[in-house]
């Protein structure tokens, strides 16, 4: 599961539901999903290794 910061809950390391891994124009990786606690949209920047790990764990690939 991908973890990120939720702006509404104001907490770090909250798991994302329905996460999608996308690739940015500059070649980086980003995860987009919803907060598992409040349902707010959230995103997180990832390294290539963490993006591949998230894809293996079941995140959707969007690139």
pLDDT, tens digit (0-9, with 9 covering 90-100), for 19-60: 999 999 999 999 999 999 999 999 999 999 999 999 999 999
CATH number at residue 27: 2.20.25
| Full domain range(s) for residue 20 | 3-61
pTM, full prediction: 0.85
Number of domains comprising the chain = 1
Find tokens 């390391």 and name the residue. 13
- Predicted pLDDT at 1: 84
Spatial CA neighbour of 17 closest among 4, 35, 31: 35
Distance, in Å, from the CA atom of 38 to the CA atom of 8, rounded to the nearest integer, reads: 8
Question: Does pLDDT of 10 surpass 90?
Answer: yes
Distances in whole angstroms, Cα of residue 52 to Cα of each of 1, 5, 6, 20: 12, 20, 22, 12
Give yes or no for residue 63 having a pLDDT over 90.
no
Contacts of 30 (CB under 8 A, 6+ apart): 21, 22, 23, 24, 43, 44, 45, 46
């Amino acid at each position: 599961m991908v973890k990120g910061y939720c702006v509404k809950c104001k907490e770090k390391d909250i798991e994302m539901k329905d996460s999608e891994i996308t690739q940015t124009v500059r070649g980086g990786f980003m995860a987009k999903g919803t907060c598992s606690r409040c349902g707010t949209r959230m995103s997180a920047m990832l390294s290539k290794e963490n993006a591949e790990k998230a894809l293996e764990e079941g995140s959707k690939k969007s690139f």
